[in-house]
Structure 1
Amino acid sequence: MCGIFARVGSPPELVNQKLRGANAARGPDACKSCSFSLAQLELELFSSELRLRGTHPVVQPHERDGNILCWNGEVFAGLNILRDENDGIQLFDQLHLLSTIDLIRVRVLQRDYPVRFSLSPRVTQLTQATVQKLFFSRDLLGRRSLLIHKPSLENPYFLLTSVSAGSNPRYSLEELETGYIYCLDVGALSKSENASTMHWLCFVVLANVWTSRSAAYGQLARVNTTLPPNDAPLPGPGLDIIPGWLEESVDELISQLDQSVMLQVRDVPQDLHVPPDQPIDLLNVAFENPRKVKIQQEGNIDPNRRKKQKNSSNGTNGAPSAHVREYMVPDRITGLQEIEELQKLCPKRVWNFVEVNVPYHESHAARQFVEGLMSPVRTVMDLSLAIALYFASRGIGQIRTRQEDQPIPYVSPAKVLINGLGSDELLGGYGRHRTAFNVRGWHSVIEELQLEIDRIPARNLGRDDRVISSHGKETRHPFLSLDVVSFLANLPVQYKMDPRLPPGVGDKMLLRLASRKLGLLEASERKKRAMQFGSHSARMEGDTKGDAPLE
C-alpha cells in the first residue's frame, strides 16, 4: 500500500508540498518523486511505500525504458508472488511484456490478466514513453482512494492524489469514478501551440479524460433474481440447527471467507493467517461524549432509553469502576463479552483487547485534521465515522491480562487492519431490507440488494482508506473480495437472509449460521449496531442529523 500523487501543469509549490506530505504519511517506509518536462508542461509522479511484502522497502514509482508505474494496491491471487518478492515489481514486469496500451486494455477487459480487480490492484497510474499518455483508475469496488482535480480557469492544472491535504482554494478534489481506465494524452497537450493558455489547457485535459476513457473494464456482480417459492420453508426459529438445504451454503461461505482472509493476511511481515504464537490485536474504541455524560449525570427524561442504558450497563462481569465507567460504551460492553468467547475457543492464542479511550478534548483537537483527511466528503455522519476510525486505527490504548487488572499502556504494531464492511450489503443486514420485504415482498428485497452492491464503490471506502492510511496502516476487506461478492450475489435470496424471522436471526442469516457453526455463539446472535453509536463518536455536542453538512 502506498500514497500516490500526480500533477500535470504547475500548481503552487505549497500545494505540491502538502499533497506530497499527505501521501508520504500513507507509506512511511520509502518515497520518491519523478519530475520531467514535455515542452511547456511540467509533470510529476510521486509514490510512498508501506512495506507489506518482500524483504526490503521498494522505492517507487517503478521505472523502466521510459515507462513509469505508481502502484497503490496488492495482488492477492493470479500472480505467483513469493514471500521475498514485491507484487508491484511483479505487476510491472507483466505489464512490460505487453507491447501496446491497447493490448493491456484488452487483457484487462478479458479479465484474464492480473490487473483484473479481483486481484485488488486498487489504483494504477502508468505512462508509456512512446505515446506519452497517463493512464489511471480505481478498482471496481473503490477500496482505495483516488481523488482528482480537474483544471479550471482559476486553477489550470491536473491533479491525482490518494488523499487530500484539507480544504484549499487552489484545488477542488472529488473522488474518481470507478469502472473505467482513464487516459490523459500528455503528448497532445505538450505539442499544442496553445498549451500556454489556461482556457485551452482546461478544455483539452477535460476532453482527453472524460471523452477518451476506455470501455468499462468490469461489471459488479448481479444478484440472483430467482424468487423463493411461495411455500419456501422457514429455516427455523433460531440458529441452533442448520437446515439440510442450507448446509452446503454455510460451509461454502466459511470456505470463501477463509480463503479471502488467508490471501489478505499471509506474508505480511510479523502478521498472520495466523501463526499460533503471534498475538492478535482487537481494537475497541470508546469516546468521552459530553452529551452522553450529561445524560448519565442528569438522567434521561425518556424512560425507555433510561431502561435500555441500565440494561446495557449490566453486560459485563461486575459493575465498572468510576475510572472506566465513562468509556463503558455499547461496543466496549459487547467487545468484552466477545473476547471471553474467543479466549474459550482459542485458549492458546494471545488476544490483546486494546481499549482505545478517547477523551473529549483529544477528539475535539483532532477534528480539523480528520476533516481534512476525509475530504471531500463533509457531513456530520462522515465525521462521526471518520473520527472513530482515526483513533481506532492509530492503535494507542491499553490492555489488561485480566479485566480486573490495572491497564497497561499499549501501542498496536499491526500494519494491516481487517474490516468487516460489506457483510450487511451482501447478506441483508440493514433494517431497510426488512422494510422492503414488508412493503413489496421478496422482489423488493432482491432489488435492494442489487442497489447495495451497485452503491459500494460510491460509499465510504475511499473516505475510510484516507483516514486509516494516515497512520501508515492499511485496511483490508475479506467480504469485498470479488470472489466472495460473486458467491453471495449468486445465492438465492432466501439462503442469505429471511425477514420473516426476527432481528438477530433473519438478518444476515447465513453469516449467523456460519458463525454459530464455528463456535461464535455470542457473536451469532448480536443485532447490528452502527459504529458511531456503539463507540459514542456520534453527536458529541448536539442532535444534528447525520446527513447535515459540517459547519
Structure 2
Amino acid sequence: MCGIFFSLVPKSDPASNIDKDFSARYTVAGLQLEQALKCRGPDCDNAIVVDTKIEDNESHHLTLFSTVLSMRDPLTPQPLQSQDGGILQFNGELYDTVGRLEEYRLDLLGDDTACTNDTALLSQLFGRFGVLETIQSIRGEYAFVYYDVLSRCIWWARDCIGRRSLLVNRSRMDCMALSSLPPANPALRVDWQEVPAGEVYKLDLRTMDITAIPWSYDSCSPLKYPYAPICLDISVSQHSYDTLVTEFSSILLAAVRRRVLAMHHSRSKPDTYAILFSGGIDCTLIAYLTAVCLRDHNAHIDLLNVAFENPRINTGFNTPDRVLGRRSWQELTCLPEIQSCRCDFRFVEINVRYSQVLESKTSVQELMFPKCTVMDFSIALAFYFAARGVGTMFSCPLAAAAGDDAPAAEEEYSTPSRVLMSGLGADELFAGYTRHMTSFARGGYEVLANELALDFKRLHERNLGRDDRVGANWSKEFRYPYLDEEVVDFALRCPLDSKLRVVGGENGVREGKWLLRQFARHVGLRNVAEEKKRAIQFGARSAKMEPGQGKIKGTAKFV
C-alpha cells in the first residue's frame, strides 16, 4: 500500500497572481495531505519535481510525492525514476495469474533481484512495451500515475475493477492533481472526485488534452477485459453442479494463495495473517482457504471481528456479528482438516465504544469522501476500526464464548499483519443481497442478470475506493480474493441458477450464493452454509448510532 500525490501546474511569471488559493489547491503541503499519505506508507516518502519545457509551449511544474508501505524486500523508494527519465507512482500488488510476470522478469533482467519488486518491474514494462500493452498483460489490485518523458504524456488509472483509491481534481484546464486521498479541508476538496475504474487516462502535455481509453469486451480494443461478460445461461440440465463447485473451490483457493504468498514476514517469529471476519460465509471460506494454504506453516491467522456500543440499541458488544463470529470460528477449528494444520486461528474482538465513534467521526468523514451518506459512514466506520486491528485476542473458542471474564486473553492486542483479507465481492458476483431475490421475484433470471451486472460494474464507485482510503489509514492493505480476475471470470461465466437457486420445487426456498454454500457444506461448514446475509453496519451495529436516527434513510447525506 502506498500513497500517491501528483500535481501539474503552469510555470508562471513570479510577478503574476494566477489564483489566491492556487498553492493550496495544487500542492501536497497546501492541501495538508503529507501526513495523511504517510499513514498509508510509513516506510519511505519522497518527492520529485520536474520542469516540463516543450518547445514554444507553456512550461509546467510536475510534483510527484509518494509514500511507501513496503511489503517485501528490497524496499523500493517512490516515485521511481527509470533510466529514460520516466517516473512511476504505483500503489498495489501484481499477481502472476497468467504466468507472464516471471517471464517478463527473466526476459528483462535475468536473475537481477532489482526486478522482484512490483514497482520496479512495472516501470521496466512501461518503458519497454508502453502503458496499454503492459496494463493489458498484468493482473492485480492497483492504481498508478506515470510520467512518460519521451512522449511527454501523463498516464493514470485504477485497475479495471477499481480495487485501489485514486482521486482527481481538474477544476482548471491548465492544472491537474491526483491523489490517493482527498484534502481534509471541506473548502479544498469540493472539486475532487474518484477516478473511474474501467478506463486508462492519458494527458498530452503538448496539447493539454485528456484521452480516456476504455476497457472493453471488443476483441479489437487496445484494452480487453480479462474476464467474460455475465452469462445469461440458465438451463439446469446443461450443468454438472458438482463439477462447478469443484472448479470454484480450486479457483478461489488459487486466488487466496496468490494473496497469501505475496506477504513477507520476519523469519524470527511466526507469520501472522489477518482476515476481516464477521463470521459470514464469504469471510469464513476465506479463513478456511487461508489455513489450507498455510497448513505446513507455523503461522497465526487473526480473525478481526468488530462490534460497536450502540446507545440507540444499548446491548453492549454482544452484536449479531460477534455471536456469529464466535460460532463460525468454533466450527472452523472443529474441522479435521484444520486441526491437522500447523497454523492456528485467533479471534480478535474489537470493541468500539460510542465515545471512540464521536472522537473519530471527523477523520472517517474525511477519509470516505467523496462518499457522504449515512450508510457510507456506518460502513466506513466499521472498516476503520476493524482495519486498525486493536482489541482482545482469544486463542480458544470456549474462552471467547465465556465473555468478558474469560481467561487467556491479551487486553491490548494489535495484529501485526499489514494485509487484511476481505470477502468483498462475493455478494455482487454470486447474488447475495436481498435485492437479488427481489429482482428474481420480479422478472426471473433475466432481471437478476441485469442487477448483478450493475452491482459489479459500480463496485469501484460504491465500495472499493472508500474502503481503501479508510483501511489504509492504519498502514494496512485490503486484498480481495473474490475480486481476483480469475474468480471474476469464473463467476461471470457461471450459469445464473448456480448463484441463486430455488430449492424444493417451483415454490421452494430461494437460496442466494448457492455455489458458496455448496462449497461450505462440502468442507464441513454446515452451519456457516445456512447463514443469511447481514450487512456489516447492522451486524456490527455501527449504523444509526445516535438517538433519534432510527428513521433516517441510509441514502441521506451525513451531517
TM-score (norm 2): 0.80
Partner of 2:212: 213
Equivalent-residue separation in structure 1 for 2:424 and 2:258 (angstroms): 17
Equivalent-residue separation in structure 2 for 1:509 and 1:381 (angstroms): 27
CA contact (8 A) 1:144 1:461 kept: yes
Question: What SS does the corresponding residue of 2:424 show, helix, strand or coil?
Answer: coil
Deviation (angstroms), 1:121? 5.0
CA contact (8 A) 1:343 1:349 kept: no
CA contact (8 A) 2:307 2:540 kept: yes
Equivalent-residue separation in structure 2 for 1:146 and 1:107 (angstroms): 20
2:261 is the counterpart of 1:266: yes
Partner of 1:4: 4
What amino acid is the match of 1:218? K
**Cα deviation 1:150-179 (Å, max 9, x = unaligned):** 1249xx731100111324323421001122
What amino acid is the match of 2:117? N
Question: What SS does the corresponding residue of 1:421 show, helix, strand or coil?
Answer: coil
The 5 Å alignment of 1:67-466 reads 67-77=86-96, 78-80=100-102, 85-98=116-129, 101=130, 104-106=131-133, 108=135, 111=136, 113-114=137-138, 119-152=139-172, 157-171=175-189, 172-188=191-207, 204=208, 208-209=209-210, 212-216=211-215, 217-219=223-225, 221-228=228-235, 245-270=240-265, 271=271, 273-274=293-294, 275-293=296-314, 326-345=316-335, 346-347=338-339, 348-401=342-395, 402-403=399-400, 404=402, 405-406=406-407, 407-409=409-411, 410-466=413-469
**Cα deviation 1:268-301 (Å, max 9, x = unaligned):** 12256425311100000011111011xx5xxxxx
Deviation (angstroms), 1:461? 0.4
CA spacing shift, 1:73–1:415, aligned 2, 3 Å: same
CA contact (8 A) 2:252 2:481 kept: yes
CA contact (8 A) 1:503 1:527 kept: no
Equivalent-residue separation in structure 1 for 2:453 and 2:158 (angstroms): 21
Partner of 1:60: 78
1:42 to 61, 66, 69: 61
Equivalent-residue separation in structure 1 for 2:188 and 2:535 (angstroms): 36
Equivalent-residue separation in structure 2 for 1:2 and 1:107 (angstroms): 20
Give every structure 1 segment of 4 or more consecutive aligned residues whose post-TM-superposition deviation is greater than 3 Å.
81-84, 218-221, 499-505
What amino acid is the match of 1:135? W
Question: What SS does the corresponding residue of 1:3 show, helix, strand or coil?
Answer: strand
CA contact (8 A) 2:437 2:510 kept: no
Question: What SS does the corresponding residue of 1:57 show, helix, strand or coil?
Answer: coil
Equivalent-residue separation in structure 2 for 1:493 and 1:247 (angstroms): 15
Partner of 1:539: 544
Equivalent-residue separation in structure 1 for 2:432 and 2:483 (angstroms): 15
Please, which moves more after superposition, 88-97 or 282-291? 88-97
CA contact (8 A) 2:126 2:134 kept: no
Question: What SS does the corresponding residue of 1:25 show, helix, strand or coil?
Answer: helix
TM-score (norm 1): 0.81
CA spacing shift, 1:183–1:267, aligned 2, 3 Å: closer
CA contact (8 A) 1:22 1:164 kept: no
2:37 to 23, 27, 32: 23
Deviation (angstroms), 1:56? 3.1
Equivalent-residue separation in structure 2 for 1:276 and 1:129 (angstroms): 46
CA contact (8 A) 1:429 1:507 kept: yes
Equivalent-residue separation in structure 2 for 1:515 and 1:331 (angstroms): 19
Equivalent-residue separation in structure 2 for 1:138 and 1:504 (angstroms): 40
Deviation (angstroms), 1:519? 1.8
Please, which moves more after superposition, 432-441 or 218-227? 218-227
Deviation (angstroms), 1:464? 0.2
2:484 is the counterpart of 1:481: yes
CA contact (8 A) 1:146 1:162 kept: yes
Please, which moves more after superposition, 157-166 or 343-352? 343-352
1:515 to 511, 520, 523: 520
CA spacing shift, 1:549–1:400, aligned 2, 3 Å: same
**Cα deviation 1:182-211 (Å, max 9, x = unaligned):** 1112244xxxxxxxxxxxxxxx5xxx12xx
CA contact (8 A) 1:141 1:456 kept: yes
The percentage of counterpart residues that share the same residue type is: 33
CA contact (8 A) 2:306 2:322 kept: yes
CA contact (8 A) 1:420 1:478 kept: yes
1:490 to 493, 512, 515: 493
**Cα deviation 1:357-401 (Å, max 9, x = unaligned):** 011001111010010000111000000000100000000101134
Question: What SS does the corresponding residue of 2:93 show, helix, strand or coil?
Answer: coil
Deviation (angstroms), 1:50? 1.1
Equivalent-residue separation in structure 1 for 2:393 and 2:132 (angstroms): 50
CA spacing shift, 1:121–1:279, aligned 2, 3 Å: closer
What amino acid is the match of 2:28? N
Question: What SS does the corresponding residue of 1:290 show, helix, strand or coil?
Answer: coil
Unmatched 5+ stretches in structure 2: 11-21, 54-58, 106-110, 216-222, 266-270, 274-292
Equivalent-residue separation in structure 2 for 1:170 and 1:363 (angstroms): 25
Equivalent-residue separation in structure 2 for 1:459 and 1:467 (angstroms): 14
Question: What SS does the corresponding residue of 1:452 show, helix, strand or coil?
Answer: helix
Deviation (angstroms), 1:107? 5.4
Unmatched 5+ stretches in structure 1: 189-203, 234-243, 297-325
CA spacing shift, 1:353–1:24, aligned 2, 3 Å: same
CA spacing shift, 1:335–1:503, aligned 2, 3 Å: farther
Partner of 1:191: none
